[in-house]
Amino acid sequence: MIPPDNHVHSEWSWDTSAAASMERTCRRAIQIGLPGVAFTEHVDFTAWGELDRIPSGNPAIARRERVHPLDVAGYQASVERCREMFPELRIRSGIETGEPHHFAGSVAAVLRTGAFERILGSLHSIVDNGRLISADSLFAQQDPREVMRRYFAEMIDLIKGSDVFQVLAHCDFPRRHWPAAQLGEYDETEFEEEYRTVFRALATSGRALEINTRSPLWSTTLMRWWYLEGGDAVSFGSDAHQPERVGARFDLAVDVVEAAGFRPGRDPLDFWRR
């Protein structure tokens, strides 16, 4: 059974190219047999807002020149148009909230503007030297292993500090840019304690973990850690930023998730569960 793609971006996300298209993504999803997609557009912020939980030291928000607010009305109209065009495909509305534990007030304001069915929580940036900055950008100046450990520690704060999201997205995001030429291939087992601590906190909160197929595909061992730490649900996400990427590598991801002990539900749109 092919799972739904619960992490997809369209032309409404600030970091997509001119090739992004919600309509074309839906056509591609139907072509490859997906039962549904969730368009989880980026919600990131360039300034601290009212009721945000600003980290100690009031750090500057670095390197977000391209970020712009989500056009909620335009996005929702596009979702409704695609639902009418593709009734055979279950289309969920959604957002991917960046650092929601810091931007609590700003995220809440966005959520009040419309009905979003799928909310992802993600961590792209951590505080360093008075700046909230993309974690992977620190690899060139600092020990990448220590950067990853700081990232995982901040992930715990995100899980404990925000309850707005249902799915934790790409919980090892900086891994995408791991300096393999310098340090060799990324070794999940080197960070087993950190992964399992994150998984334990997420499992306790009752939320789902995403297997993200845009990132280096996780091992069955890593997914098994999620199972052993009490994880109940797995969400599949391609993190597609162009139509051709929707559902990418889901065949391999399904094999990994099944081998770790998770199975599809009766409803093909459900999370996979233990």
Domains parsed from the chain with CATH numbers: 5-273 (3.20.20.140)
> Rounded to two decimals, what is the model's pTM?
0.97
In this prediction, residue 1 carries a pLDDT of 84
Rounded percentage of the chain residues whose pLDDT exceeds 90: 97
The tens digit of pLDDT for each residue in 204-258 reads 999 999 999 999 999 999 999 999 999 999 999 999 999 999 999 999 999 999 9
In this prediction, residue 164 carries a pLDDT of 98
DSSP states along the chain: -PPPEEEE--TTSTT--TT--HHHHHHHHHHTT-SEEEEEEEE--SS--TT--PPTT--EE-S-TT-----HHHHHHHHHHHHHH-TTSEEEEEEEEESTTTSHHHHHHHHTTS--SEEEEE--EEEETTEEEEGGGGTTTS-HHHHHHHHHHHHHHHHHH--S-SEE--TTGGGGG--HHHH-S--GGGGHHHHHHHHHHHHHHTPEEEEESSSPPPPHHHHHHHHHTT--EEEEE--BSSGGGTTTTHHHHHHHHHHTT-B--SSTTSPEE-
The tens digit of pLDDT for each residue in 102-141 reads 999 999 999 998 879 999 999 999 999 999 999 999 999 9
| Nearest C-alpha neighbor of 124 from the set 6, 239, 32, 224 | 239
Q: What are phi and psi of 179, to 5 degrees?
A: -75, 75
Whether 21 and 243 have beta carbons less than 8 Å apart is answered as yes
In this prediction, residue 114 carries a pLDDT of 81
Structure tokens at 177: 């840019």
Q: 18 falls in which pLDDT band (50, 70, 90)? A: confident
| Pairing mode, strands 233-237 and 272-273 | antiparallel
| Pairing mode, strands 125-128 and 131-134 | antiparallel
The residues pairing with 134 across neighbouring beta strands, listed in sequence order, are 125
